[in-house]
Amino acid sequence: MAGITEADVLQALRGVQDPELHRDFTELGMIQNVRIAD
C-alpha cells in the first residue's frame, strides 16, 4: 500500500474552508509546510 503524499494532504485540505471568507485554506496561503511522519 502506498503512503500518504504531500499532494494527498493538500488535496484534502482544499475541502477545509475559512468560515468567514468562504475560501479554502490552501487558496488563502495558510498552509505553508506539510510534513508527513510515520
pLDDT at 1: 46
Q: Quick one: how far is CA 15 from the chain centroid?
A: 8
pLDDT at 38: 78
Residue 24 half-sphere exposure toward CB, CA atoms < 13 A: 9
Q: Give the separation between CA 23 and CA 28, rounded to whole angstroms.
A: 7
DSSP assignment of 1-38, as one string?
A: -PPP-HHHHHHHHTT-B-TTT-SBTTTTT---------
pLDDT in tens, 1-38: 469 999 999 999 999 999 999 999 999 999 999 999 87
pTM here is 0.70
